[in-house]
Structure 1
Amino acid sequence: MSKETTEIDTAELGEKIVKVLKTIYDPEIPVDIYELGLIYDVFVNEDNDVKILMTLTSPNCPVAESLPVEVEEKVKSLNAVKDAEVEITFDPPWTQDAMSEEAKLELGML
């Protein structure tokens, strides 16, 4: 397999992962976690192992235990994904500035 094909595949897989992330909502805010800016990075290696670096709206978020598990499970459900791991970070801490324009509009902040 040429390197070019692999890059396209990982880019396509990245887009599919983002679509899945957009189906997961913060239970306290009616906006998906991607638009909220909780996803800091998505890494896909050539073996289709996925690592997601994300944060929560606060360290004592009520879904601190369940949300990362939900993210891992939904991403792993994609056929092309071999494995998925979620790493939670609070550096930098989440602020409302991380939200997309769409999220801010949805919450009446614009």
Structure 2
Amino acid sequence: MLRDKVEEALRTVYDPEIPVNVYDLGLVYNIKVEDNNVTVTMTLTAPACPAANEIIFDAESKIREIEGVNDVHIHLVFDPPWDKEMMSEEAKLELGWL
């Protein structure tokens, strides 16, 4: 399923300052696939994240590489604000936050 491939691709995108992918960090709020067009609604750990452009570009590029994807739109939002409680249990363990 295309949505699963998008999720898999997002698990390869990292904030350069945090050794956990953006999906497990809880930065991805929604993935919508319609007619092979992908829209991802996501946030950053902080609005002033210095790696924002790099993260967004990396996410979009990796999704575009998926066979069958026609177009990709990344919507960056800051509401609700990210909080470490949004992280997966695996991410919290990896960062030693459990």
Q: Name the TM-score class by shorter chain.
A: over 0.9
Whether 1:34 aligns to 2:31 is no
Q: Which structure ranks higher in relative contact order (CA pairs < 8 Å, sequence separation ≥ 6)?
A: 2
Structure 1 length as normaliser, TM-score?
0.87
Partner residue in 2 for 1:75: 63
Whether 1:103 aligns to 2:87 is no
Whether 1:62 aligns to 2:62 is no
In structure 2, the gaps of 5 or more residues are none
Taking the aligned partners of 1:81 and 1:96, their CA distance within structure 2 comes to 31
In structure 1, the gaps of 5 or more residues are 1-11
Q: Which has the larger radius of gyration?
A: 1
Runs of 4+ in 1 over 2 A off after TM superposition: none
Taking the aligned partners of 1:50 and 1:65, their CA distance within structure 2 comes to 19
Question: What root-mean-square deviation, in Å, do the aligned CA atoms of Structure 1 and Structure 2 show?
Answer: 0.6
Superposed displacement of residue 70, structure 1:
1.2
Structure 2 length as normaliser, TM-score?
0.97
Identical columns (%): 49
Query: How many residues were matched structurally?
Result: 98
- Counterpart of 2:82 (choices 82, 88, 94) is 94
